[in-house]
Structure 1
Amino acid sequence: MLKNCLVIFLLVGIVFSCKQKEQEKTTPVLYPNQDAPLALLMREMYLDMEEMKMSLEKKEDIKSYLEKHKAILTAKATDPKVKDAKFDQMAIGYLESLRQMDLGPYELKESKYKIIYSYCLACHEKYCPGPIKKITNLQID
């Protein structure tokens, strides 16, 4: 009787252990670079671009994100080699496009948004292609 209970206990333990390992394998990694300040900033920038797009579609005022997004120049990347001179040029171009978004008549804001979007896409094509599919959701036709 004691042997039977021990065998049953071991079998239940093995089955539970296998199921737990199976669940660990199927859990997707949503943000592999979640601790890098640049990765965190990029996620915020995406949300801000979504907000800009929605404001344009509704013909509402667009708030300024320039000060917040300036951190792109100083935020630490997951891989420090990413932050080279070309990255900085793209980041500066992006920030200048944001500055331009704050200027001029509302009628030009959609074309300015498209320039900002193109900087996002170009930089991710060069440095971090993973989010490109998500970034394309920000496109305005």
Structure 2
Amino acid sequence: MHKVFVVCFMAVLGFSCSGKTENKSHEAVRYPNQDAPLALLMREMFLDMEEIKISVEEGQSIKGYLEKYKELLTAKPTDQSVKTEAFQTMGMGYLANLRQFENSSDQELLENYKVLVNSCLACHSNYCPGPIKRINLLKLE
């Protein structure tokens, strides 16, 4: 009788720890803000910043991102309370830094890239600090 109980317990434990359940919980932790338009935009911005970092490191030309990211100011967040005046100000500052970066001379490119990354960090230190660790990976010396 004891062996039957142990076998049943192990079977239930095995099913409860299946890969599908684990992946869903992992995704929820990885992307706690799920599919809010602002969260999706921020993820895309990070991926683009990884490309930009490589371009800066290799001295390649920079694609234009400004038009793509103007939506930053209007995209719906997961929590509407983050759309404060300070958020708007920081968002406009980021877009201004992005414009300056995109118009940089070769000599200014690295310094203006650093300013752009720092504007991401400044905003995320006030709103949604979760991505700060990933944003720090974008830094160049």
**TM-score with structure 1 length normalisation?**
0.86
Looking at structure 1, the residues matched to 64 and 131 of structure 2 have their Cα atoms a distance apart, in angstroms, of 23
Identity %: 47
- The alignment yields a C-alpha RMSD, in angstroms, of 2.1
Residue 21 of structure 1 corresponds to 16
Looking at structure 2, the residues matched to 69 and 91 of structure 1 have their Cα atoms a distance apart, in angstroms, of 10
From the superposition, tell whether residues 50 and 93 of structure 1 become closer, same or farther in structure 2 (CA, over 3 Å).
same
Looking at structure 1, the residues matched to 38 and 32 of structure 2 have their Cα atoms a distance apart, in angstroms, of 13
Residue 77 of structure 2 corresponds to 77
CA deviations 1:27-78 (Å, max 9, x no partner) are 4222111211111100100011111110010000011110111111111101
Is contact 2:104-2:112 (8 Å) kept? no
How many correspondences in the alignment? Answer: 135
CA deviations 1:79-114 (Å, max 9, x no partner) are 000110000000000001111112241210111111
Cα deviation for residue 25 of structure 1 reads 6.2
Looking at structure 2, the residues matched to 70 and 13 of structure 1 have their Cα atoms a distance apart, in angstroms, of 56
Looking at structure 2, the residues matched to 107 and 139 of structure 1 have their Cα atoms a distance apart, in angstroms, of 18
Secondary structure, counterpart of 1:138 in structure 2: coil
Cα deviation for residue 20 of structure 1 reads 2.6
Q: Unaligned regions of 5+ residues in structure 2, if any?
A: none
Q: Unaligned regions of 5+ residues in structure 1, if any?
A: none
